[in-house]
């Protein structure tokens, strides 16, 4: 199963990935998580990426494409993976397609989690994430069992630096301009599957499982 989770900021990609990982035990490759870890560790990548992320812009392709292509070419991804946050523009989509051709593999599906902009802002402002793994929660719609602590790793829940309202607006703008055109790109290839992302996390998860069952 080579699955791409696609959708605007706050659509629930990370939330659904966490549930799908429990279902399928596949490597979860989240570009945003990888970049945030690099920023936290102060690596060369992190130092180069930070300003773009803080501004809500895409990090340049040169920093992202090779990183992700290498990651999904690694041995532990041979049986499949769940990709979140990549590709985000045409150049990234083309690079991913070429990498798949080279590896003799194919994308199983691109799952679009569809949510209108107004809901997204509300979701992102209420989001809290595990300080350790980035696993997302929501203060109202998806609270942790123990306040302020991740159910899985017990670490503190924090707010992401780029979840400030002005940066969220910018991320939405970038999504509509650069990333949304990939919907028709993948639809034309017959790979796109739409999921109504406005229902509860559990309902969205059930819907995704039903969609995947028709593909395998």
| Catalytic residue ranges | 13, 88, 127, 160, 171
User: Is 145 one of the annotated binding-site residues?
Assistant: no
Report the residue number, 157 or 212, with the smaller CB distance to ligand AP5.
Answer: 157
State the nearest-atom distance from the C-beta of 107 to Zn ion, in Å: 19
How many residues bind Zn ion, per CB under 5 A?
Answer: 2
- Taking CB under 5 A as the rule, does residue 7 contact Zn ion? no
Residue 212, classed as helix, strand or coil, is helix
The b-or-e profile of 2-20 (16+ CB within 10 A means b, else e) is bbbbbbbbbbbbbbbbbbb
38: Cα within 13 Å, side-chain hemisphere: 20
Decide which of Zn ion, ligand AP5, none touches 15; Cβ closer than 5 to 8 Å per partner kind. ligand AP5
Q: Which of 7, 8, 14, 144 binds Zn ion (CB under 5 A)?
A: 14
Report the residue number, 12 or 212, with the smaller CB distance to ligand AP5.
Answer: 12
CA dist 41 → 65, 128, 134, 212 (Å): 20, 20, 15, 36
User: Is 135 one of the annotated binding-site residues?
Assistant: no
User: Is 105 one of the annotated binding-site residues?
Assistant: no
- Taking each helix axis from N to C end, the angle separating 44-55 and 165-174, rounded to the nearest 10 degrees, works out to 100
**Which residues contact Zn ion by CB under 5 A?**
13-14
């Amino acid at each position: 199963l080579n699955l791409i989770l696609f959708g605007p900021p706050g659509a629930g990609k990370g939330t659904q990935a966490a549930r799908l990982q429990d279902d399928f035990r596949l490597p979860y490759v989240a570009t945003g998580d990888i970049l945030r870890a690099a920023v936290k560790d102060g690596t060369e990548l992190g130092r180069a990426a930070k300003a773009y992320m803080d501004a809500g812009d895409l990090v340049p392709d040169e920093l992202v494409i090779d990183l992700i292509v290498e990651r999904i070419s690694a041995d532990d991804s041979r049986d499949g993976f769940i990709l979140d946050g990549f590709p985000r523009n045409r150049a990234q989509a083309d690079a991913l397609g070429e990498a798949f051709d080279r590896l003799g593999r194919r994308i199983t599906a691109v799952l679009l989690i569809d949510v209108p902009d107004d809901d997204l802002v509300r979701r992102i402002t209420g989001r809290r994430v595990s300080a350790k793994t980035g696993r997302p929660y929501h203060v109202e719609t998806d609270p942790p069992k123990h306040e302020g602590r991740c159910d899985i790793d017990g670490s503190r829940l924090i707010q992401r630096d780029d979840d400030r309202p002005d940066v969220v607006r910018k991320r939405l703008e970038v999504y509509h301009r650069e990333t949304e055109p990939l919907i028709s790109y993948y639809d034309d290839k017959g790979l796109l599957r739409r999921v109504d992302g406005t229902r509860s996390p559990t309902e969205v998860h059930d819907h995704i499982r039903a969609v995947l069952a028709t593909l395998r």
